[in-house]
Amino acid sequence: MRVLVFDVWGDYGHFRKFYTTTSPLTFSIPPRTALCGLIGAILGLGKDEYIERLSKKEAKISVRPVNEVRKIRFAENLIDTKKAGRHMNEISARTQIRFEFLKDPRFRVYFSHRSSSIMDQLRELVSDHRCVYTPCLGLSEHIAEFGYLGEFEGEEEILNENVYIHSVIPESDIIKLEFEEDREYISELMPVEMDSNRIVKEYSNILFERKANPIRAKVKGFTKLKGFENVVFL
């Protein structure tokens, strides 16, 4: 299995939790659905096209926090664009909303696809630091920087023992979790896949360590990247 690995980062990020309304909260890590959008932007796939081209049947995707997960909150002024004038001083309809943001987020993305052409295209773009559309960390104003780490050969492993998993882990894949000192384990319910109408059809509880440490656990199966890290795909 070919697996491409690259980092994405920025000053801020916001991946809105689906159950928040007037005070938007953010997931601690980008859900798989957001990662599909980010990868689709780099590849130049349309909003409807990337959902199908990067579905779970076609693509394997996972992620890990590289920086410690930190969150801050501050207010933003939202404007009614339908009633806005041609100039900023003509805007009168404003609503101040308190948002939660990720501060200095950095994530490692693992990607594999059934199509060799998509793998080659993404590798060429990311390694040359090019993209078709501008990738962002959730919201359009949070533009994402990205850096290529390499292409690795992945081998699927099943071991009856605890191993260090560097990526996040769906709780359904965990057989036994080994708790270690000075670790902060967090589980969040996240969307995993959407249909063509952008309706979420699968959710999953995702486990990760807030300080970006690997998790030691016995899992149903994982992918070992030769000379690099162990990954469980979402």
Q: Which pLDDT score is estimated for 84?
A: 59
Q: Which pLDDT score is estimated for 85?
A: 62
Question: pLDDT tens for residues 71-126?
Answer: 999 888 787 766 656 676 667 777 888 899 999 999 999 999 999 999 999 999 99
Q: Which range of residues forms the domain containing residue 9? A: 2-231
Question: pLDDT tens for residues 15-35?
Answer: 999 877 777 999 999 999 999
Q: Which pLDDT score is estimated for 74?
A: 87
CA angle 162, 190, 166 (to 5 degrees): 30
If one compares 184 and 95, the residue with the highest pLDDT of the two is 184
CATH of the domain at 147: 3.30.70.2660
SS3 at position 80: coil
Single out the residue of 31, 54, 71 nearest to residue 168, CA to CA.
31
For the chain, strand residue ranges (E) read 2-9, 12-13, 59-65, 71-79, 94-103, 106-113, 145-157, 163-165, 169-170, 174-177, 185-194, 200-209, 215-219, 222-225, 230-231
Number of domains in the chain: 1
Q: Which pLDDT score is estimated for 48?
A: 82
Mode of pairing for the β-strands spanning 2-9 and 12-13? unpaired
Distance from C-alpha of 147 to C-alpha of 92, rounded to nearest angstrom: 41
Distance from C-alpha of 148 to C-alpha of 187, rounded to nearest angstrom: 28
**Average per-residue pLDDT for the chain:** 93
Q: Which pLDDT score is estimated for 86?
A: 67
Q: Which pLDDT score is estimated for 83?
A: 65
This prediction has a pTM of 0.92
Per-residue pLDDT averaged across 54-77, rounded?
A: 94
Question: pLDDT tens for residues 126-141?
Answer: 999 999 999 999 999 9
Distance from C-alpha of 122 to C-alpha of 151, rounded to nearest angstrom: 11
User: Residue 161 — very low, low, confident or very high, per pLDDT cuts 50/70/90?
Assistant: very high
Q: Which pLDDT score is estimated for 133?
A: 96
What is the percent of the chain where pLDDT is above 90? 81
